[in-house]
Structure 1
Amino acid sequence: MELEAVGSAAAHTDLSIWGLFMQADLVVKSVMLGLLLASIWSWAIIVDKSMLYSRVRRQMNQFERVFWSGQSLEELYQQLSERPSMGLGTVFVAAMKEWKRSHEQNAASPIGMQSRLDKVLDVAIARESEMLEKRLGFLATVGSASPFIGLFGTVWGIMNAFTAIAAASSTNLAVVAGPIAEALFATAIGLLAAIPAVIAYNKLSADANKMISRLEGFADEFSTILSRQLEARGQR
């Protein structure tokens, strides 16, 4: 009779992915759903950031070609101010706006003007950096927390497995196969969410840092160019 009961329990255990989810209790289901939603949102961020970074790099490369081609700064400013830009173009437009505003107000102190330009460049870089790094923290959180959340679901599922052993008064694997499979499934989903998030976070963070370094390097070079023009203006 015991063998028949065990065989009946094994026969009614659906070990498919959908079956494991449906047979799990509310806690394990909540863990699985939370991890799946985190994984979906992580992939949405990964795709969005990859497209954004590609677009920003392309605009940066195009801006540098035009900027160092010898074109007039005023002409370049007029072109960029008429359309939205990102990256180096945004930093350039912000600095040129302050430059033109200071000239229109006949700023008397070159030192004060240089200080304002440097502050404007710093603020522009900070805003662009925030745009580039936005939501990357979520990937870091998913990458670090998902395995532990999945482990919590695993521990809870194993507790259910031991409860099933006690209720059935049997240590036969067929009795606990379902709860153990559910527990391991929660861990698998946790890893499924964590691994891409960690890899993407490392890659996207490195890309963002490279672009931020390009912004800072350009800001230093552009500040030097404007400083020379201030000195030439003061000598007139």
Structure 2
Amino acid sequence: MFLNAGPVVRSVMILLFVGCILTWTVALAKTVEFTLARRRLEKAKDALEMSNSLDQTDEARCDGVAQTMIAAARDERHASQDIAWDSEGIKERIVLSLERLEAAESRRLMRGTGLLATIGAIAPFVGLFGTVWGIMTSFTGIAATKATSLAVVAPGIAEALLATAIGLVTAIPAVVIYNALSRQTVACRAEVADIAAQVMRLVSRDLGRMQGAVDSGRVVQLGVRTAAAE
């Protein structure tokens, strides 16, 4: 039926075949990507959970977005050394940096899934276009031959309906795979948010220690001055 179809219907079928191949290619690539990403995030969460300070975090177990977040927190803390007393301001700036990294990671995880949404949305209509064109061609042939026998009409209509069937075969997996990848994206984004929260927990702990050391130094200086005055 494919070889006997007209050039327009055949082009529609080829386009749908390409869309089907792209769908399964994206599905395979994103499945591997999400699997590796989940493993990296789990390792990073464990490393941050066992760490007592941001500087003592095992960076060998933190790669990808976790390592980037740790580096961003350290850089901001280092850049704010001259205003170490402003711990709340440091936390706010680190939170802003982590939010930007979370958004960038979300965009990276969603990359490629838009193609599946497009294929799932337009494939049925592309197949329907091939069907309508094939039926029009069949009726034109009937008018030209002036034959209304089912044997004359059936092959052309069957070829046209094949385009709709291919469109559905292309669209249904694309929609199902898109929804599955969207759920995996949401799960990965939640884990990235957990890592950001753990980084902020360590940052808050380090800043608390730093503030405590500053306060202790002030108390010691005040005691020395009081003793000297007496």
SS in 2 for 1:22: coil
Amino acid at match of 1:187: T
**Counterpart residue number, 2:76:** 98
| TM-score (norm: length of structure 1) | 0.81
1:97/1:80 CA distance change after superposition, 3 Å: farther
* Rounded Cα–Cα distance in structure 2 between residues aligned with 1:203 and 1:162: 42
User: Unmatched 5+ residue regions in structure 1?
Assistant: 1-19
Aligned pair partner of 1:73 in 32, 54, 63: 54
**Counterpart residue number, 2:95:** 118
Q: How many aligned positions are there?
A: 213
Verify: 1:214 aligned to 2:191, yes or no.
yes
What are the superposed Cα offsets for residues 174-220 of structure 1, whole Å, 9 maximum, x if unpaired?
11222112111111111121111111101110010111012123313
Amino acid at match of 2:188: M
Higher CA-based Rg: 2
Give the alignment of 1:1-236 within 5 angstroms: 20-70=1-51, 72-76=53-57, 78-79=59-60, 85-103=63-81, 107-235=84-212, 236=214
1:117/1:63 CA distance change after superposition, 3 Å: same
* Rounded Cα–Cα distance in structure 1 between residues aligned with 2:197 and 2:45: 14
Query: How far is 1:221 from its partner?
Result: 3.6
**Counterpart residue number, 1:14:** none
* Rounded Cα–Cα distance in structure 2 between residues aligned with 1:102 and 1:128: 26
The answer (yes or no) to whether the contact 1:31–1:149 under 8 Å persists in 2 is yes
* Rounded Cα–Cα distance in structure 2 between residues aligned with 1:192 and 1:134: 23
Identify the range of structure 1 (23-32 vs 52-61) with the bigger mean alpha-carbon deviation: 23-32
Amino acid at match of 2:35: S
1:110/1:75 CA distance change after superposition, 3 Å: closer
* Rounded Cα–Cα distance in structure 2 between residues aligned with 1:38 and 1:107: 56
SS in 2 for 1:50: helix
* Rounded Cα–Cα distance in structure 1 between residues aligned with 2:194 and 2:51: 19
The answer (yes or no) to whether the contact 1:77–1:93 under 8 Å persists in 2 is no
**Counterpart residue number, 2:222:** none
* Rounded Cα–Cα distance in structure 1 between residues aligned with 2:109 and 2:121: 21
| TM-score (norm: length of structure 2) | 0.83
**Counterpart residue number, 2:227:** none
* Identical residues among aligned pairs (%): 38
Amino acid at match of 1:169: K
User: Unmatched 5+ residue regions in structure 2?
Assistant: 215-230
Query: How far is 1:67 from its partner?
Result: 1.9
* Rounded Cα–Cα distance in structure 2 between residues aligned with 1:37 and 1:48: 16
1:143/1:188 CA distance change after superposition, 3 Å: same
